[in-house]
Structures are given as structure tokens and as C-alpha cells.
Amino acid sequence: MHRVNIHPTAIVETSSLGDNVTVHAFAVVRAGATLGNNVVIHPYVVIETGVILGDNVEVFPGAYVGKVPKGAGVLARIPRFEPFVQIGANCSIGPHVVIYYDVKIGENTLIGDGASIRELCRIGSRCVVGRHVTLNYNTSIGDDTKIMDHSWLAGNMRVGNRVFISGGVLTANDNMLGKHGYQEERIVGPSICDGAVIGAGAILLPGVVIGEEAIVGAGAVVTRDVPPRTVVMGIPARAIRTSLGDE
């Protein structure tokens, strides 16, 4: 038997609802959205057309999934996107999260309260995107990666598998600080390779590569590439050893 539980004040325009779906008070689910089995939509959530939620996804109050990127005539970069969002099974989308169009999120991933995920982002499975984290446009995150609270990842950035990014980490993608407008080939954020660890409050400058299993100490300012399995600290960051076990 197909079961749905829709609050009388909710607006549900789609007929693509799985079994045992719950939509709470004052939520809006637009025509063309797809909700899998056992999905829970909490109050004041907006799910736009083209959004696909896998089985057992839960979206907490005030989240907005499927936001249209708007340049408003002030951005140097013209937003480009396809009108869809795909969220894998067993994901949790926290209160007041904003997920723009053209985003894919893998299974068993947690998106923390107030996070913002821009267009063209791709997030793997079993990831954590912490509270108030910003993922800017065209940023990819591998599987089993954790990004802690209040970190800011620049546009055109790549993060590998099993990466740990601690709280308050900042990144940049333009050495000219916007003076030359937006040029796709020049605006490139850092690349963080598989297994790397970034300490709290570190700053990664445009285009730097953090090698596999490398460690960036808390508060470091990384101005050049970090070799694999190297520990760097300081301002500017300098190598101090090749692994935590070395003296």
C-alpha cells in the first residue's frame, strides 16, 4: 500500500512520491520534484522542480533545495547551470541549508546547519559538510571527506577522498583579487589530494596543490605546493618533517 503523510498546510505539486513520505507544515514541494521512499520534509522547506531526493533523505526546517543562481548584474562570472539537484539515499540536510541547482550529493552524506552549496558542485558519499560551510561554484569533493564548521572553499577547487578540513579554513582562487575580472583558465582554487589533513584556521592560496597524506598545521598560510606526506606549518608555510612520526 502506497502511504504518504502530507500536512494540510503543505504545498505538494508533484506526484512523484515514494512510499511513506512525510511532508510537514508549510513546506513546498514543486511539480517535477521526485521524493524517494521514507523521505521526511520538515516545516518551511522548499524543494524546487528538478530536485531528486533518494530514499531515507531527511530535510530539516528552512532548507532551500534547488535555488537558481542569480548574478544580479554585479558578478563578473555569469552563472551556468542545469536545473537539477540529485541527493543520494540516507542523506541529512540540516536547517537553513541552501543548495543551488546543478549539484550532486552522494549517499550517506551529512550537510550541516546553514551550509551553502553553489552550482556545479559535486560531493561524494559518506561525507560531512559542517555547519555554515560554503562550497563555491564548480567545487568537487571526493568520498569519505569531512569539512568542519565555518570553512570556505573557493570556486574551481578540487578535494580528494578521505580528506579532513578542520574548522575555519579559508581558500582563494584569484591572485589578482578580482582586478582583471573573471577568466576561467586563471581563476583556480587549491587542489587537496587524497588523505590530506588541513588544520584549523589555515589559509590555502590560489592554485596550490596539497599532496596525498600531507598535513597543513593550524593557522598556516600555504603559498606553494605541499609535497605528499609532508607536514607544513607557519606563515608562510614551511616543511618541518615528512610525517608525524619523524623527528
Is a pLDDT exceeding 50 seen at residue 166? yes
Cell of 222: 600555504
Q: Please choose, from the candidates 112, 8, 21, 109, the residue with its C-alpha nearest in 3D space to the C-alpha of residue 60.
A: 112
Is a pLDDT exceeding 80 seen at residue 182? no
Q: What is the pLDDT of residue 25?
A: 98
Percent of residues, the chain, with pLDDT higher than 90: 85
pLDDT band at 247 (very low <50, low <70, confident <90, very high): very low
Q: What is the pLDDT of residue 94?
A: 98
Give the separation between CA 108 and CA 207, rounded to whole angstroms.
30
CA torsion sign for 67, 139, 80, 86 is negative
Q: What is the pLDDT of residue 48?
A: 98
Q: How many CA atoms lie within 13 A of 240 on its CB side?
A: 14
Grid-cell match 597543513, residue found? 216
pLDDT in tens, 86-144: 999 999 999 999 999 999 999 999 999 999 999 999 999 999 999 999 999 999 999 99
Is a pLDDT exceeding 90 seen at residue 78? no
